[in-house]
Amino acid sequence: MIAVQVIVGGLLLGAIYALFSSGLTLIWGMMNFINFAHGEFVMLGMYAALLVVVWLGGGPVTFGAAAAGALFALGAVIYLSLVRHVLRGPMLAQILSTFGLALLLRYAAFWWFSANYVSLPGNALSGTIAIGGIFIPVAQLVAGVAAIVLTLLLQLLLTRTLIGSALLAVAEDPGAAMLMGIRPDRIQALAWGLSAGSAGVAGALLATAYPWSPSVGETFGLIAFVVVAFGGFGSVLGSLYAGLIIGLIQAASAFWLGAIYKDVVVYALFVALLWLRPQGLMGKA
């Protein structure tokens, strides 16, 4: 029974990995731009949720939507003010720009919020429920399920709507997209908004179930890179499967090998996967 509980817990956390990683796949996999600040977007989503709860009150829907909206705006602004200009420069400028942005956001958070761990005050999602003999914190259950739903909604947006189709067109061939009357800059700003927004809402979901400090951005950023590469660059569904798998592996190795080994196992498997299947799990050869 304890094994089932470990597996369920891992999958629920993995679902949140999937949500923020599908945001990274939009930028890294589709728009071909490496964003080292993605983990910091998740971290900022967590603090955005906290600030909304403390200042304005409101339930999970309120702070989840607020974190998504705030990070959507931040992502679009970062594209328009920073990335758009860096895109004309050499590859190294791209890498350094978001690496610098990550440091800026992380240390701004240390300065503003201090390095202490915080957690959301008790809310509608506090407590634990028992399902068939296993005990799951309500917050983890709701956050995990919400993350899967939101990831699937992102996939539907990309594959079933005209705006998603325009986004994929810009990713594939910006020049040809312009010939269709599409303004690539606006679509890129939207992609950055969606990417940061999904990280923000994932952060809000994480905040309901786990305490955090400003340094979590680094951890989640690394996990997002692993998930995107594991799932095949540019595939939201690939990120979904890969996120669930990574969450599961982490939970299982933490339980059976000890908590300090969980990241070692994940990164060791990652290196092995890149060696055996460099195009990722779901990627085309």
Partner 1 sequence: MTELRVEHLAVRYGDLVGVADISLKVAAGQVVALLGSNGAGKTTTLNAVAGLVQPASGHVEWCGEPITGQPAYAIVRKGLTLSPEGWRLFASQTVEQNLRLGAMALADQSRKGAMFERVYGLFPRLAERRQQPAGTLSGGERQMLALGRALMCEPKLLMLDEPSLGLAPAVVGSLYEKLAELHRQGLTLLLAEQSIPLALAIADYAYVLQTGRVALEGPAQELARNEEVREIYLGVRTPQPAPGGSA
Q: Contact residues for partner 1 (CB under 8 A)?
A: 162, 165-166, 168-169, 172-173, 175-184
CB of 93 vs partner 1, minimal distance in Å? 19
CB of 178 vs partner 1, minimal distance in Å? 4
CB of 54 vs partner 1, minimal distance in Å? 44
CB of 168 vs partner 1, minimal distance in Å? 6
Closest-CA residue to 270 (of 222, 230, 228, 237):
230
CB of 279 vs partner 1, minimal distance in Å? 15
CB of 278 vs partner 1, minimal distance in Å? 20
User: What single string gives the DSSP state of each residue in the chain?
Assistant: -HHHHHHHHHHHHHHHHHHHHHHHIIIIIIS----TTHHHHHHHHHHHHHHHHHHT---HHHHHHHHHHHHHHHHHHHIIIIIHHHTTS-HHHHHHHHHHHHHHHHHHHHHHH-SS-B-PPS-TT-SEEEETTEEEEHHHHHHHHHHHHHHHHHHHHHHHSHHHHHHHHHHH-HHHHHHTT--HHHHHHHHHHHHHHHHHHHHHHHHHH--B-TTHHHHHHHHHHHHHHHH-TT-HHHHHHHHHHHHHHHHHHHHHT-GGGHHHHHHHHHHHHHHH-TT-SSS--
CB of 177 vs partner 1, minimal distance in Å? 8
User: Which one, 123 or 165, has the nearer CB to partner 1?
Assistant: 165
User: Which one, 162 or 276, has the nearer CB to partner 1?
Assistant: 162
User: Which one, 133 or 181, has the nearer CB to partner 1?
Assistant: 181
User: Which one, 178 or 271, has the nearer CB to partner 1?
Assistant: 178
User: Which one, 238 or 247, has the nearer CB to partner 1?
Assistant: 238
User: Which one, 70 or 182, has the nearer CB to partner 1?
Assistant: 182
User: Which one, 30 or 78, has the nearer CB to partner 1?
Assistant: 30
Query: Exposed (0-12), middle (13-18) or buried (19+): which is 89, by Cβ within 10 Å?
Result: exposed
